[in-house]
C-alpha cells in the first residue's frame, strides 16, 4: 500500500564517512590506552568506537515527516494550516538561508551534509517564528506532501 500524497517520512542519516571517523576515534582511544596493556587497549577501542557511534547515530536520527495534517520536524509539530507556501531551496540558496539570510527566531533543522532544503513561512500571527527551515534530500516530495496535506479536508486547525 502506497502512502497518501499528504504523507512524507524521511530520516536525515549521517554520511558513511562519519561512521569511519567514529571507528578512527575508537582506534585513537585504543592507542592512548596501549601503554596500560592489551585489555585496556581493547576496552578503549570498543568503548571509544561505541561512544562515537552513539553520537553519530543521535545526530543522524533527525526525522522530517508530514503526517496527520502536521509537519513534524525533530521535536516540533506544526499544523499545515499554520504554514504558508513552501519554497524549495537548492544548494546555494539553502547555504544562504543557513548563514547570512538566517533569522535567529526561525526554527531550523539543518544538516550541513544535506545540500537542499525547504523553507516555509509561518502564517500563524500568534507565533513569533517567521519560518521553518528544513534540510531534506527530497525537497519536491516534502513540498508535494505539505501542499496535499494543506488541501486535505482533514487538516487540523491552527492554534
Q: Is residue 2 included in any domain, yes or no?
A: no
Say which residue, 4 or 117, is predicted with more confidence. 117
The answer on 113 and 127 residing in a single domain is yes
User: Burial of 137 by CB count in 10 Å (0-12 exposed, 13-18 middle, 19+ buried)?
Assistant: middle
The answer on 45 and 73 residing in a single domain is no
Taking alpha carbons only, the member of 151, 89, 77 closest to residue 117 is 89
The answer on 71 and 53 residing in a single domain is no
The answer on 29 and 16 residing in a single domain is yes
The answer on 147 and 116 residing in a single domain is yes
pLDDT of residue 1: 43
The answer on 127 and 91 residing in a single domain is yes
Question: To the nearest whole number, what is the mean pLDDT of the chain?
Answer: 88
- Please give the order of strands across the beta sheet that includes 62-67: 8-12, 62-67, 70-73, 76-79
pLDDT of residue 124: 87
The answer on 103 and 50 residing in a single domain is no
Res 119 pLDDT > 80:
yes
**Number of domains composing the chain:** 2
Task: Show the domain range for 26.
Answer: 9-59
Q: What is the pLDDT of residues 38-60, one digit of tens each?
A: 999 999 999 999 999 999 988 87
| SS3 state of residue 57 | helix
Q: Is residue 159 included in any domain, yes or no?
A: no
- Which of 59, 82, 100 terminates a domain? The answer is 59
The answer on 125 and 70 residing in a single domain is yes
Joined grid coordinates for residue 1: 500500500
Amino acid at each position: 500500500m502506497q502512502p497518501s500524497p499528504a504523507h512524507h517520512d524521511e530520516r536525515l542519516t549521517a554520511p558513511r564517512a562519519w561512521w569511519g571517523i567514529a571507528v578512527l576515534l575508537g582506534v585513537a582511544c585504543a592507542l592512548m590506552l596501549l601503554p596500560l596493556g592489551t585489555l585496556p587497549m581493547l576496552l578503549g577501542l570498543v568503548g571509544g568506537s561505541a561512544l562515537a557511534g552513539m553520537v553519530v547515530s543521535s545526530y543522524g536520527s533527525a526525522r522530517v515527516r508530514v503526517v496527520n495534517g502536521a509537519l513534524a520536524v525533530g521535536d516540533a509539530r506544526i499544523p499545515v494550516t499554520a504554514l504558508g507556501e513552501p519554497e524549495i531551496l537548492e544548494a546555494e540558496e539553502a547555504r544562504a538561508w543557513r548563514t547570512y539570510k538566517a533569522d535567529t527566531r526561525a526554527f531550523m533543522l539543518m544538516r550541513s551534509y544535506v545540500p537542499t532544503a525547504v523553507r516555509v513561512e509561518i502564517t500563524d500571527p500568534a507565533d513569533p517564528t517567521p519560518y521553518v527551515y528544513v534540510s531534506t534530500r527530497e525537497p519536491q516530495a516534502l513540498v508535494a506532501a505539505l501542499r496535499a496535506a494543506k488541501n486535505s479536508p482533514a487538516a487540523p486547525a491552527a492554534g
